Amino acid sequence: MAVDLKARLAHVELPNPVLTASGCAGSGRELAQFFDVAKIGAVVTKSVMLAPRAGRPAPRMAETPSGMLNSIGLQGPGIDAFLQRDLPWLLSRGARAVVSIAGSTVDEYAELATRLSDASGLTAVEVNISCPNVEDRGQVFACDAGAAAAVVAAVRGRLRYDVPLFAKLSPDVTDIVSIAGACVAAGADGLSMINTLLGMAIDTRTMRPALAGLTGGLSGPAIRPVAVRCIWQVHEAFPDVPIIGMGGVRTGRDAMELILAGASMVSVGTVIFHDPSACLRILRELEEELAAGGIDRLADVIGLAHEPGRMPGRRLSGSVL
Ligand SMILES: Cc1cc2nc3c(=O)[nH]c(=O)nc-3n(C[C@H](O)[C@H](O)[C@H](O)COP(=O)(O)O)c2cc1C
């Protein structure tokens, strides 16, 4: 049975719902030696800042049980090199590009949006707000509804109206629904969640922190239940707002879990480091999972876990209800 896997990134249609997660596949070039990057829903690029950045000192990765800590620190070429070199390459491969941006001030985000408004071929912009605001004692934008909304409004105001804006939320907050609501009210067309959780590891041999940057972002399967919870809560509050779900997805079944919680697309991150073709495999497994449940449209299962009485698909509606 052919499953209709089409997904909607706000008003933009994607052939399927599997995306890369920002920072885990550069700008797609590294993945292209393993599979055709035009085959997945979209490539979400590493968050780009205005100026080139070297990132934080090494060691900047540490393994943890079912997860990984990283303190890469947004290393990257800066927006000019990205627009001259990386984006055209991605588009030349026929891939859809979701460009992730990050800044240290609201004005920096606005300037990035201005530069992007001249670029053609963007599928969407994902605004990574898990960055310290240098104008507010390093308080992370995503942890304060007002600051998160200020960034979203500034970017929305400069971006071309037809380019969807997704705000990427941090799980390190007391009430993710209020941050989500503030972003939507400020003009976000959709939400991406979750970014990494702040963590730390200490090397008991050296008796020192494992990462040179002391703290790092926790990702991988260990965080999937947190992602499911965040997506569930936000979808419950804003059922019409599209969500790109991410956090510990390793298999098609994991992707399905996020979709049942309310995600309409799924980004794949940490697993790419040991299985570079994971996005294509997960896409295939997701299709098999849906087909096995007698479900012929992905759209029918988005947020389905919220509706205990409804079962989609030919086989399930006949046999289970
Ligand atoms: C090495 C690494 C680098 C990352 N860089 C970024 C980034 O530049 N921008 C961003 O929004 N998220 C970044 N993330 C977070 C991922 O996009 C994703 O939200 C998170 O890792 C959860 O998904 P996962 O468990 O599948 O990796 C990074 C994650 C990792 C592991």
pTM higher than the cut 0.75: yes
Confidence of residue 317 (pLDDT cuts 50, 70, 90): very low
> What is the residue-wise DSSP string for 20-74?
EPTTSSTTSTTGGGTS-GGGSSBEEPPPB-SS-B--PPSP-EEEETTEEEE----
For residue 23 and ligand 1, the question of a CB distance below 6 A is answered with yes
Q: Atom 3 in ligand 1: which residue has the minimum CA distance?
A: 23
Confidence of residue 287 (pLDDT cuts 50, 70, 90): very high
CA distance 256 to 143: 28
For residue 47 and ligand 1, the question of a CB distance below 6 A is answered with yes
Q: In the predicted model, what is the mean pLDDT of the chain? A: 94
Active site residues: 131
Q: Atom 4 in ligand 1: which residue has the minimum CA distance?
A: 23
Q: What is the pLDDT of residue 313?
A: 60
For residue 270 and ligand 1, the question of a CB distance below 6 A is answered with yes
**pLDDT digits 0-9 by tens, 67-100:** 999 998 888 889 999 999 999 999 999 999 999 9
Average of per-residue pLDDT across 18-47: 96
How much of the chain is helix, strand and coil, in % rounded to 5? 35, 20, 40
For residue 76 and ligand 1, the question of a CB distance below 6 A is answered with no
Q: Atom 18 in ligand 1: which residue has the minimum CA distance?
A: 195
58: exposed, middle or buried (C-beta count within 10 Å: 0-12, 13-18, 19+)?
A: exposed
> What is the residue-wise DSSP string for 159-170?
S-TTS-EEEEPP
For residue 163 and ligand 1, the question of a CB distance below 6 A is answered with no
In 3D, which of 194, 135, 136 has the Cα closest to residue 166? Answer: 194
Q: What is the pLDDT of residue 75?
A: 83
Q: Which atom of ligand 1 is nearest to the CA of 70?
A: 1
